[in-house]
Amino acid sequence: ILIVGCDPKADSTRLILHAKAQDTILSLAASAGSVEDLELEDVMKVGYKDIRCVESGGPEPGVGCAGRGVITSINFLEENGAYENIDYVSYDVLGDVVCGGFAMPIRENKAQEIYIVMSGEMMAMYAANNISKGILKYANSGGVRLGGLICNERQTDKELELAEALAKKLGTQLIYFVPRDNVVQHAELRRMTVLEYAPESKQADHYRNLATKVHNNGGKGIIPTPISM
Note the pLDDT tens digit of each residue in 95-153. 765 566 667 777 777 888 999 999 999 999 999 999 999 899 888 887 889 999 999 99
Considering the domain architecture, whether residues 9 and 89 belong to the same structural domain is answered as yes
What residues pair up with 151 in beta bridges, in sequence order?
A: 118, 177
Q: State how far the Cα of 89 lies from the Cα of 2, in Å rounded to an integer.
A: 5
Q: Give the residue from 95, 110, 125 where a domain finishes.
A: 110
The CATH number covering residue 175 comes to 3.40.50.300
Considering the domain architecture, whether residues 67 and 116 belong to the same structural domain is answered as no
CA neighbours within 13 Å on the CB side: how many for 80? 19
Could you write out the DSSP letters of every residue in the chain? -EEEEESTT--SSHHHHTSS-PPPHHHHHHHHSSGGG--HHHH-EE-GGG-EEEE----STTSS-HHHHHHHHHHHHHHTTTTTT-S-EEEEE-SS---TTTTHHHHTT--SEEEEEE-SSHHHHHHHHHHHHHHHHHHTTS--EEEEEEEE----TTHHHHHHHHHHHTT--EEEEE---THHHHHHHTT--HHHH-TTSHHHHHHHHHHHHHHHTTT--B---PPP-
Q: Return the higher-pLDDT residue of 31 and 101.
A: 31
Q: Return the higher-pLDDT residue of 6 and 101.
A: 6
Considering the domain architecture, whether residues 227 and 120 belong to the same structural domain is answered as yes
pLDDT at 197 over 70: yes
Considering the domain architecture, whether residues 47 and 102 belong to the same structural domain is answered as yes
pLDDT of residue 21: 83
pLDDT of residue 115: 96
pLDDT of residue 108: 77
pLDDT at 68 over 80: no
Considering the domain architecture, whether residues 166 and 222 belong to the same structural domain is answered as yes
Per-residue b/e over 25-53, b at no fewer than 16 CB within 10 Å? bbbbbeeeeebeebeeeebbbebeeebbb
Confidence tier at 160 by pLDDT (50, 70, 90): very high
pLDDT of residue 148: 98
Q: Give the residue from 68, 89, 110 where a domain finishes.
A: 110
Q: Give the residue from 81, 110, 139 where a domain finishes.
A: 110
Q: pLDDT digit string (tens) for 39-67? A: 999 999 999 999 999 999 877 667 667 67
Considering the domain architecture, whether residues 157 and 97 belong to the same structural domain is answered as no
Considering the domain architecture, whether residues 64 and 158 belong to the same structural domain is answered as no
Considering the domain architecture, whether residues 90 and 8 belong to the same structural domain is answered as yes
Q: State how far the Cα of 98 lies from the Cα of 211, in Å rounded to an integer.
A: 25
State the total domains in the chain: 2
Considering the domain architecture, whether residues 181 and 199 belong to the same structural domain is answered as yes
- For the residues 13-18, what does the mean pLDDT come to? 96
Considering the domain architecture, whether residues 126 and 82 belong to the same structural domain is answered as no
pLDDT of residue 209: 99
What range defines the domain where residue 119 resides? 112-229
Considering the domain architecture, whether residues 139 and 153 belong to the same structural domain is answered as yes
Q: pLDDT digit string (tens) for 164-178? A: 999 999 999 999 999
Considering the domain architecture, whether residues 123 and 223 belong to the same structural domain is answered as yes
Percent of the chain with pLDDT strictly greater than 90: 71
Q: State how far the Cα of 100 lies from the Cα of 105, in Å rounded to an integer.
A: 10
- Identify which of 78, 67, 93 has the alpha carbon closest to the alpha carbon of residue 12: 93
pLDDT of residue 6: 87
pLDDT of residue 97: 59
